[in-house]
A and B are shown apart, each in its own frame.
Chain A
Amino acid sequence: MKNEQMAAYLTHYRGRPLRLMEVCGTHTSVLYRSGLRGMLPAQVAMLSGPGCPVCVTPTAYIDRLTELSLTPGVCVLSFGDMLAVPGSKLSLAGARARGGRVGFFYAPEQALKIAAKEPKTCFVLAAVGFETTAPVWAVLAETILQQGIQNVRLLTALKTMPLAMDALCETGDIDGFLCPGHVAVVSGSESFRPLADKWKKPMVVGGFTPELLLRALCRLLREAGERHSGVWNEYPAYVRRDGNSKAKAVVARVFETGPACWRGLGVLAGSGLYLRGKYAALDAGSGALYDDRAPEGCCCGKVLTGALTPQQCPLFGKACLPEHPVGACMVSSEGSCRITYLERGDSL
């Protein structure tokens, strides 16, 4: 089908009402940027899922990072997006303003260069991410051991997606999933098969250009509308059935699974990745960071599970703004509250 035909299919869908979830934050953002969200008919609701690593990171993890940053001799390095996420007392940016040492990197490999310049400081890297980023951190951990780098540690908050989607199926009435294309590049489209079989829902892997997303959405509407279940790969240029075996192998070498806490979903057994064996020596205390106390009134947990839309949070656009976020979903560029807020087009 041509783009115009697909667009017409989307806007003219008159099938049964659907609640669909885009798991990945990048999809949330492309849905907005491309105008696709506005093209959906009224009976199709797109819910944003727990697909942004910044948003799902629990409070306890932020607290551990801020505590480390305020420890003499320690410097915390993180992706820039994490800096403004509120902890129970402080964000990393707040810790920095109080004398904590916090830096940021654009790509994890940069962190090693930063650390090499200051051998006496212990650098703790905030290793967050999903299946997609896990291989990068795994390679980094291998490099640290191989090169005998002494002053770098990882505080991991690495998670795998299918178990979170399973938990969502259990709680929410979701008719189908737009599955994260980046994750599928690594883990393979078939990694969503067990979910499709167990819950009898369509799982459509989508890419990230407006055209690819449109194509994936049309597929999802059609299959969910007809109550079909199965896995459809609408990102075949990059996603293979079994994913990237090299990336999977390095992750398996370096990490083992364990329980992880997701904001909004709580602790899910087996959904986290932790440094294993000889790599465990690099860990800066990543286990059992389960406390997920949200600030007063914050509904991020409900937003992340599709139970509430961002606008339904009483703080949205009032106490919680991109300039002073209360919850994580207003911080990250992939957070659904931030995206929804910006989508309203409030000018300066």
Chain B
Amino acid sequence: MKIELRHGAGGADTAGLIDSIFARHFHNAVLDKMEDGAVLPRPAGELVLTTDSFVVQPLEFSGGNIGRLAVCGTVNDLSCMGAVPKYLTAGFILEEGLETDTLERMVASMAATAKEAGVSIVAGDTKVIEGNGGMYINTAGAGIRPQGRCVSAANLCPGDQLILSGTLGEHHAVILSSRMGLQTSLKSDCAPLNAMTEALFSAGVSVHTMRDITRGGLATVACELAKASGCALAIEESALPVSEGVHALCGILGLDPLTMGNEGKLLIAVPQADTAHALATVKAVPYGENAAVIGTVCAGSGVTLQTAIGGRRVLSPLRGEGLPRIC
């Protein structure tokens, strides 16, 4: 069956869609009440809220899909704030012509990812617009930050070590090669990282800051951190984990792993004394096995890369789309 405008009209067709797909996959005590809003217990600690919209093309790609991405993106934003993600809302904008089977796969994947991350999807909305069978998802998330956790870019101080939780560029590489019709064995790294951030806190690591590396890649995130903290970041190119597949694609297309996006990688800054412990902790949790210490925070400003060949390069945030070269 294909989605039609009637499915978004708010009447029986909408209710049917909710029953047959959304309620069935997302069900939990709060959502099952089917009220106009979710009533949630008042948390101890600070409430952290975030929202993000997902418009990825293609909807399904190797290693993930828009549904998994929509959960991971919001879960990871909350986790990077030091919050324990708890609740998500999901808003769907569906284009006419979307296959309900596709929608159901995306929704099922959201449900599975939410389960993996230990969050509940407690409210939702669906609209249908004219179009060509596409779909977009907005997720908002609420998390609770226990007392005493203070993670902020402003906390970076000279001497801090930078840990990257895994290899660079997979998500970007997968999306790009699928748009270009290239066959690769790459998989998107799209994953919820709250287990990783919680492991760090439970291990007693004094996390100064954490960022998930999404659009714009490591270079962009590092420049943002440098600016926000008034410190300089020095990164070692030879320490950067890059998979062979991404490396090869970059060679062919003239791309730079440093400005390619991930959807399941963190840049973590910890005090020097905690570095070894933090690295071991990250390596021991899922999605962290390729973690590495990639650089240091110093006094000064800007981000520099010590290149593998012995040169020095000043990193800038990505500008424009980062398209592959013409030949």
Report whether B256 and A81 are in contact in the complex, using a CB–CB cutoff of 8 Å: no
Q: A33 contacts B327, CB within 8 Å?
A: no
A62 CB to nearest chain B CB (Å): 15
Would you call A97 an interface residue if the criterion is a C-beta within 8 Å of the partner chain's C-beta atoms? no
Beta-carbon nearest neighbor of A134 in chain B: B327
For A170, the chain B residues whose CB sits under 8 A away are none
Q: Does the CB pair A345–B327 fall under 8 Å?
A: no
Identify which of A13-21, A208-216, A220-228 touches chain B. Answer: A208-216
Q: Is A262 an interface residue (CB 8 A)?
A: no
Chain A, residues 110-148, CB within 8 Å of chain B (1/0): the string is 100000000000000000111011001000000000000
A81 near B323 with CB under 8 A, answer yes
Interfacial residues of chain A within 82-130, with CB under 8 A of chain B in the complex: 84, 106-107, 109-110, 128-130
Q: Which residues of B contact A347 (CB under 8 A)?
A: 223-224, 226-227, 301-303, 316-317
Check B179 for interface membership: any CB of A closer than 8 A.
yes
Residue A323 at the chain B interface, CB threshold 8 Å: yes
Question: A7 interface residue, CB < 8 Å from B?
Answer: yes
Q: Which of A26, A109, A333, A343 contacts B322 (CB 8 A)?
A: A333
> Cβ of A36 and Cβ of B311 under 8 Å apart?
yes
Residue of B nearest to A183 (CB): B327
Give Cα A330 to B263, complex, Å.
30
- Given A182-B327, A342-B319: A110 and B180 interface contact (C-beta under 8 Å): yes
Near A by CB (< 8 A), chain B positions 168-183 give: 176, 179-181
CB distance from B170 to the nearest CB of A (A): 18
Find the A residue at minimum CB distance from B258: A33
Complex interface: chain B residues within 8 A of A106 (CB): 176, 179-180, 323-324
Pairwise interchain contact A38-B224, C-beta atoms closer than 8 A: no
Q: Tell me, in angstroms, the Cα distance from A130 to B325 when the chains sit together.
A: 12
- Say what secondary structure dominates the interface of chain A: helix
Q: Are B314 and A128 in contact (CB under 8 A)?
A: no
Interface residues of B in 100-143 (CB under 8 A from A): none
| B326-A129 in contact (CB<8A) | yes
- Which one, A38, A81, A128, contacts B312 given CB within 8 A? A38
Q: Could you say which of A33, A107, A129 contacts B313, with CB atoms under 8 Å apart?
A: A33
Interface of chain A residues 220 through 255 with chain B (CB within 8 A): none
B315 part of interface (Cβ distance < 8 Å) = yes
A34 touches B313 (CB 8 A): yes
- A322-B320 in contact (CB<8A): yes
Residues of chain A from 172 to 191 with CB closer than 8 A to chain B in the complex: 182
Q: From known contacts A107-B180, A133-B327, A347-B317, infer whether A35 and B310 are also in contact, taking CB-CB under 8 Å.
A: yes
Residues of A within 8 Å of B307, CB to CB, are 33-36, 210
- Which residue numbers of A lie inside 8 Å of B, CB to CB? 3-4, 7, 25-26, 29, 32-39, 52-54, 79-81, 84, 106-107, 109-110, 128-130, 132-133, 136, 182, 208-211, 214, 322-323, 333-334, 342-348
26 pairs across A/B with beta carbons < 8 Å? Answer: A29-B254, A32-B313, A33-B307, A34-B313, A35-B310, A36-B307, A80-B323, A81-B326, A106-B179, A110-B180, A129-B326, A129-B327, A133-B326, A210-B308, A211-B309, A214-B309, A322-B320, A333-B322, A343-B316, A344-B316, A345-B302, A345-B304, A345-B315, A347-B302, A347-B303, A347-B316
**Pairs of residues from A and B, 5 with the lowest C-beta to C-beta distance, nearest first:** A35-B311, A345-B314, A35-B307, A132-B327, A106-B180
